Amino acid sequence: MANLDFTETPDLMETSNSSDESLVKDLSQVFKGFSKLTKDQRLEALVKAGLLAKSDLNFLARGGLRDTSLGEKFIENVIGYFQIPLGIATNFCIDNQDYVIPMAVEETSIVAAASKTAKWVRESGSIQTKVIGNEIIGQIQLAKIKDFTRFENLVLGHKQEFIDLANTEVAFGLVRRGGGVRNLSVRKIPRGDGQDMAVIHIYMDPVDAMGANIVNQVCEYLKAPIEELTGEKITMCILSNLVDSRLTEATVIIEKIEPELAEKIEEASLFAELDPYRAATNNKGVLNGMDPILIATGNDWRAVEAGVHAFATRDGQYRSITKWKRDGHFLTGTLRAPIIVGTVGGVTSLHPTAGMCMRMLNVNTAAELSRIVAAVGLVQNLGALRALTTVGIIEGHMKLHIKNLTLGAGATEKEMPFVAKKLEEILQLKKRISLSNAIEALREVRSQSMSQRKVVAKTQPQSSH
């Protein structure tokens, strides 16, 4: 493990209040009015619920990590840290279990939309999730196969030997924890030049690790015995991020919904199923909910995104990974995608903020974390479709974007409320606002302030000498 400076990290011995026994199972009291609280009040509520330790508060108060020594262990040529706001999405009840959702994200309205939509689902429906399959995939490629049929027969004929060899020599740690290599298969891929490519798929259960490093090691280890057995030349070994052998599914059912709204959401969903231009933006909205959790917990969000996008093209056309349908008086939404995450190893174990976020989630298994990620992604999608088909995306998003515009215009802390009020008035009238509106509003506020100071100065009695 990296040498951490524990003067800047939560005291690992003081996290006993985050044990299963002390955690509040019903978080409805924490959720109530959470967005109206000050930052200190939010932190106090999380401590009272057993989701944060007092050492976590000290860590956050100091600004999280400041010493770059940990960053030096992660990447090269370190010069500092790029900080992303860490927020909490509330109101989530997934598989009848309450969760506070840590989200590391810089985009306005994501946390608010997730919390607002989760409240709607909590009051009017439910969220259910499941994981289908357990294995991740490693690939062993042979660019040009001399005799595919002979190669396939040899490899499959010695399949169990290769599995046992990999589990004994490389994946023995996973085997002890109940995982390891489970299966292998052989694929033929026509090259288009009259020759064929062969690819061996290694299927491995990584238990609660993401498993990227270990599956790569397994593939590399099997290279020599496969070449010796077959006389064919292996070109490369690497994991695949399109893990269709381990899918996570989330389902949201809304029981109380106006028929007109349900129809609009269903039509918006159909648009994303049929049109790749719309599907790309739809899926980006889903990932607005997923990525912030992956970042907050130290997981590889780029790998998940790659898998999601590849899965979205599985039938030859890029499509939405979510689907919403009216079912009688209900609206039902589903999301199914490869969401490969880990709860042990890597940044998740080393980064103190990731560790703190994992304790807030009170998640112990990779399967549970992937189910939470899928649920939040689907809820985020529902919120976006609801906004798009009713008030439009601008009104809600830009209202929350007002703070950013006031900052961009250069408003001081005292000026911000006055500029924000003027921008709200412009948004109400014109249904849109921009940075130029904020700059003009700031000029007006400062002009009024100057005029008031002049009036006060004139009314002040002049001192005589």
The model's confidence at residue 268, banded by pLDDT at 50, 70 and 90, is very high
pLDDT, tens digit, for every residue of 91-107?
999 999 999 999 999 99
Q: Which of the four pLDDT bands, split at 50, 70 and 90, describes residue 303?
A: very high
- Report the CATH number that the domain containing residue 224 is assigned in CATH: 3.30.70.420
Residue 123 is a catalytic residue: no
Q: Give all strands of the β-sheet with 330-337 in edge-to-edge order.
A: 125-132, 247-254, 330-337, 322-327
Residue-wise pLDDT for 269-293, tens only, equals 999 999 999 999 999 999 999 999 9
pLDDT digits (tens, 9 = 90+) for 52-69: 999 999 999 999 998 899
Amino acid found at 32:
K
- Our CA dihedral for 147, 148, 154, 155, rounded to 10 degrees, sits at 140
Query: Cβ neighbours of residue 255 under 8 Å, at least 6 residues apart?
Result: 124, 125, 329, 330
Q: What is the structure's pLDDT at 406?
A: 87
Which of 200-214, 339-353, 390-404 has the lowest average pLDDT?
A: 390-404
- Residues of the chain with pLDDT > 70: what percent? 90
Question: Is the per-residue pLDDT at 22 higher than 90?
Answer: no
Closest to 216 measured CA to CA, from 136, 315, 310:
136
Q: Do 273 and 362 belong to one domain? A: yes
Q: What is the pLDDT of residue 434?
A: 84
Residue 42 lies in a domain: no
Q: What is the pLDDT of residues 161-179, one digit of tens each?
A: 999 999 999 999 999 999 9
Who wins on pLDDT, 19 or 128? 128
Residues 410 and 376 in one domain: no
Residues 6+ apart with CB under 8 A from 195: 144, 145
Which has more confidence, 447 or 160?
A: 160
Residues 113-142, buried b or exposed e (16+ Cβ, 10 A)?
bbbbbbebbbeebebebebeebbbbbbbbb
Give the model's confidence band at 11: pLDDT under 50 very low, under 70 low, under 90 confident, else very high.
very low
Mean model confidence pLDDT for the chain: 90
Q: Which of 240, 266, 299 is the last residue of a domain?
A: 240
Dihedrals phi, psi of 53, to nearest 5 degrees:
-95, 160
Same domain, 203 and 283: no
In the annotation, is 300 catalytic? Answer: yes
196 catalytic? Reply is: no
**Pair (217, 259) in one structural domain:** no
Select which of 11, 44, 95, 107 is catalytic: 107
Give the pTM: 0.85
Q: Clarify whether residues 359 and 278 are in a common domain.
A: yes
Q: What's the pLDDT score for residue 379? A: 98
Phi, psi angles (nearest 5°) of residue 25? -80, -40
Answer yes or no: do 107 and 256 share one domain: yes
pLDDT for 163 equals 98
Choice among 95, 397, 403, 424 that is catalytic: 397
Residue 56 falls inside a structural domain: no
- Residue bearing the bigger pLDDT, 80 or 17: 80
Asked if residue 289 lies in contact with residue 376, where contact means CB atoms within 8 angstroms, the answer is yes
Identify the CATH number of the domain in which residue 381 sits: 3.90.770.10
CA dist list (Å): 366 to 50, 252, 343:
22, 21, 5
| 130 DSSP β-pair partners | 249
Q: Report the pLDDT value the prediction gives residue 119, as an integer from 0 to 100.
A: 97
Calculate what percentage of the chain has a pLDDT beyond 90.
74
Task: Kindly give the pairing relationship between strand 125-132 and strand 247-254.
Answer: antiparallel
Same domain membership, residue 309 and residue 350: yes
232 is annotated as an active-site residue? no
Residue 205: the pLDDT is 97
Q: Which of 300, 309, 368, 422 is catalytic?
A: 300
Domain boundary at 340, 369, 390, which? 390
Instruction: Choose, from 48, 256, 284, 454, the residue flagged as catalytic.
Output: 284
Is residue 200 assigned to a domain? Answer: yes
Same domain for 312 and 184: no
* Vertex 375 angle, CA 369 and 377, to 5°: 105
Confidence bin at 41 (pLDDT 50/70/90): very high
Full residue range of the structural domain in which residue 145 is found: 136-240
| Number of domains comprising the chain | 3
Q: Are residues 173 and 294 in the same domain?
A: no
Report the candidate in 147, 118, 174, 291 with the shortest Cα–Cα distance to residue 233.
147
Assigned domain for 69 exists: no
The whole-number average pLDDT for the span 364-391 is: 95
Helix 148-157 to helix 212-230 angle (10° resolution) is: 110
Q: Is residue 462 one of the residues assigned to a domain?
A: no
Lowest average pLDDT, out of 156-165, 182-191, 337-346, 430-439, goes to 430-439
The 3-state secondary structure of the chain reads CCCCCCCCCCCHHHCHHHCCCCCCCCCHHHHCCHHHCCHHHHHHHHHHCCCCCHHHHHHHHCCCCCCCHHHHHHCCCCCCCCCCCEEEEEEEEECCEEEEEEEECCCCCHHHHHHHHHHHHHHHEEEEEEEECCCEEEEEEECCCCCHHHHHHHHHHCHHHHHHHHHHHCCHHHHHCCCEEEEEEEEEEECCCCCEEEEEEEEEECCCCCCHHHHHHHHHHHHHHHHHHHCCCCCEEEEECCCCCCEEEEEEEECCCCHHHHHHHHHHHHHHHHCHHHHHHHHHHHHHHHHHHHHHCCCCHHHHHHHHHHHCCCCCCCCCCEEEEEECCEEEEEEEECCCCCCCCHHHHHCHHHHHHHHHHCCCCHHHHHHHHHHHHHHHHHHHHHHHCCCCHHHHHHHHHHHHHHHHHCCCCCCHHHHHHHHHHHHHHHCCCCHHHHHHHHHHHHHHHHHHHHHHHHHCCCCCC
For residues 408 and 342, the model is more confident at 342
Assess whether 252 and 336 both reside in one domain: yes
pLDDT at 335: 98
pLDDT of residue 395: 62
In a domain, 265, yes or no: yes
How distant, in Å, are the alpha carbons of 238, 350, 381, 384, 458 from that of 465?
88, 71, 72, 69, 18
Note whether 100 and 215 are same-domain residues: no
CA pair distance 456, 89, nearest whole angstrom: 46
- 410 and 299 within one domain: no
Indicate the residue among 390, 410, 432 that finishes a domain: 390
The C-alpha atoms of residue 3 and residue 70 are separated, in whole angstroms, by: 7
- Does residue 18 carry a pLDDT above 60? no
Residue 31 lies in a domain: no
48 has a pLDDT exceeding 50: yes
User: Which range has highest mean pLDDT (4-13, 338-347, 422-431)?
Assistant: 338-347
* 99 in a structural domain: yes
